[in-house]
Chains A and B, each alone.
Chain A
Amino acid sequence: MLFGIDTYGLQLAIIADDGRRLTYAELAELVQEKAKSLQRGVLQFCMCRNTVESIVEYLACLEAGAPVVLLDATKDAETIENLRQIYRPGETRCHADLAVCLTTSGSTGSPKLVRLTLKNILANAESIAEYLRIDNNERPITMLPMYYSYGLSIINSHLLKGATILLTDKTYAQREFWNFLRTYEATSMSGVPYTWEMLRRLRFMRMDLPSVKTMTQAGGKLNADIALEYIRWAKTQNKQFIVMYGQTEATARMSYLPWESAEEKSASIGIAIPRGTFSLAEDGELIYEGANVSMGYAECAEDLLKGDENHGVLHTGDMARVDEDGFYYIVGRKKRFVKVWGNRCNLDQIEQLVKPITTSCACAGVDDHITVFVTQEGLEKEIKNLLSAKTGLNPIAFAVKVIAAIPVKESGKIDYQLLQTWI
């Protein structure tokens, strides 16, 4: 079976936060049973939570060869219904290589999906397990949702090695999370930049968590000073803080910063993962090649019949430089998007969402904060509520500012550089 889950027998696969324990043999049996009800080549939706049911459903789809779209179970009904109408799960026939579809970071309510093959998933899981040296003694605690590529990569890479996943939807802001982590002795934690910033405010570095040996960070750029603070602290604690870089378009991971170089190169995204390669295009765009590069996107049901369009090469949209030791550094972005708590938000798409409320609007943003500029007073609440509902992000992510007029350049295009200075 996939990830060899039927070979780990009585090893514990999952400990859930309700106390439920599942061995790999039990997990394999549940997956096989569930897979019987699924039809090869026909699209499925999986409404994900970090629960045994969601993991079984996901694995059963892979086992049965039923391409599956992993979605946020807490997403509003309207968004899900819209996706059902576009992709028609239970009916739509897909390309033979299609295994998993992930939303392009879940935000902006866009129905665009990334198309992944089994080969993508396995290649990435193997590379990750190799550079993180994952073995069956590991006990990662889930801190990210499984419909998010980073969260899914943790599940995949640990199942592959027969490790025990501590499964919970609880967050670091809840006592239950910390009790669960301590009781079952989690060995690794994971977070997007915002998570590590907040854990720092929670005085994480003063907590006594002897079982935790590895901390990973991906999903955007962590402030360089904070990264260095974690790296230095981890060194004194005999722990590791691993900075990583990736995109859903590459299944999850493209690079990691090797621990030996972490302090010296703390501003770097590191080197390509095992069996992956980086290069720079003439304009400085970071190009990745590897077996984990997705087949491409889907924006309608017909697209699910398409084959591989990327051929193992991904244009990341990030601008980068490389140092003399071969370490890469992100210096900017080619497109107008920001990362909000690890979710990629295209500022042009956000702008389109606001248009029905007022056409006189423009968006600018920095990571973890988007500013909507409008020319009409009194729309703040309406805009924030709409954006929160459509993106699933906490309204705190958005600010609405009223200005006299939306600035335009001589060409007539919106002057985003100027707006950026008004945030």
Chain B
Amino acid sequence: MFAETFGIEEAQVAGLKYQAIEQWDSVGHMTLVAAIEDAFEIEMDTDDIIDMSSFEKAQEIVAKYGVAF
């Protein structure tokens, strides 16, 4: 999902952080949030959205909503 939203290779996703690539700016961030919410049918809290500052953090947050990988 990260790879698709930002148009990057899957190998680049691990360890990826906010603003580490041009595509992950505030616009990319909110697009990513929308993609995650749609795919897992969840609605994230504000705190979780603004804490989602890396790929690993995103996994952690999404897991809280009962999504298993």
Least CB distance from A386 to B in Å reads 13
Q: Which residues of chain B in 1-47 are interfacial with respect to chain A, using CB atoms and an 8 Å cutoff?
A: 5, 7, 18, 22-23, 25-31, 33-34, 45-46
A172 within 8 A of B: yes
A131 within 8 A of B: no
Least CB distance from A390 to B in Å reads 13
Least CB distance from B23 to A in Å reads 6
Partner of A194, one of B7, B23, B27, B50: B27
* B31 partner residues in chain A, CB cutoff 8 A: 394, 396
Nearest CB in chain B to that of A396: its residue: B31
Cα A363 to Cα B8 with chains together (Å): 25
Q: Is the CB of A396 within 8 A of B34?
A: no
Q: Is the CB of A171 within 8 A of B25?
A: yes
Q: Is the CB of A394 within 8 A of B50?
A: no
Q: Is the CB of B26 within 8 A of A171?
A: yes
* B33 partner residues in chain A, CB cutoff 8 A: 201
Q: Is the CB of B45 within 8 A of A395?
A: no
A161 within 8 A of B: no
Least CB distance from B20 to A in Å reads 13
* A413 partner residues in chain B, CB cutoff 8 A: none
Q: Is the CB of B28 within 8 A of A396?
A: yes
Looking at chain A, what size class is its interface with the partner chain?
A: 20 to 34
The SS class assigned to the B binding surface is: helix
Looking at chain B, what size class is its interface with the partner chain?
A: 20 to 34
Partner of B23, one of A172, A202, A395: A395
Interface string of A196-208 (1 = CB under 8 A from B): 0010011110110
Q: Is the CB of A172 within 8 A of B26?
A: yes
Cα A394 to Cα B7 with chains together (Å): 11
Count A-B pairs with CB separation below 8 Å: 54
Least CB distance from B49 to A in Å reads 6
Cα A175 to Cα B46 with chains together (Å): 10
A279 within 8 A of B: no
A158 within 8 A of B: no
A381 within 8 A of B: yes
Q: Is the CB of B30 within 8 A of A201?
A: yes
* A204 partner residues in chain B, CB cutoff 8 A: 46
Q: Is the CB of B25 within 8 A of A175?
A: no
Nearest CB in chain B to that of A143: its residue: B26
Q: Which residues of chain A in 164-189 are interfacial with respect to chain B, using CB atoms and an 8 Å cutoff?
A: 171-175, 177-178
Which of A178, A198, A206, A397 counts the most B-chain CB atoms under 10 A from its CB? A198
Cα A201 to Cα B28 with chains together (Å): 14
Q: Is the CB of B18 within 8 A of A394?
A: no
* A174 partner residues in chain B, CB cutoff 8 A: 18, 50, 53
B51 within 8 A of A: yes
Measuring CB to CB, which residues of chain A are less than 8 angstroms from any residue of chain B? 171-175, 177-178, 194, 198, 201-204, 206-207, 341, 381, 384, 388, 394-397
9 smallest beta-carbon distances between A and B, as pairs: A171-B26, A173-B29, A173-B26, A394-B27, A198-B30, A175-B50, A203-B46, A202-B46, A396-B31
Kindly list 20 other residue pairs between chains A and B, CB separation below 8 angstroms, not including A173-B25, A207-B46, A395-B23.
Answer: A171-B26, A173-B18, A173-B29, A173-B50, A174-B50, A174-B53, A175-B50, A175-B51, A177-B50, A201-B30, A201-B33, A201-B34, A202-B30, A202-B46, A202-B49, A203-B45, A204-B46, A394-B28, A396-B27, A396-B31
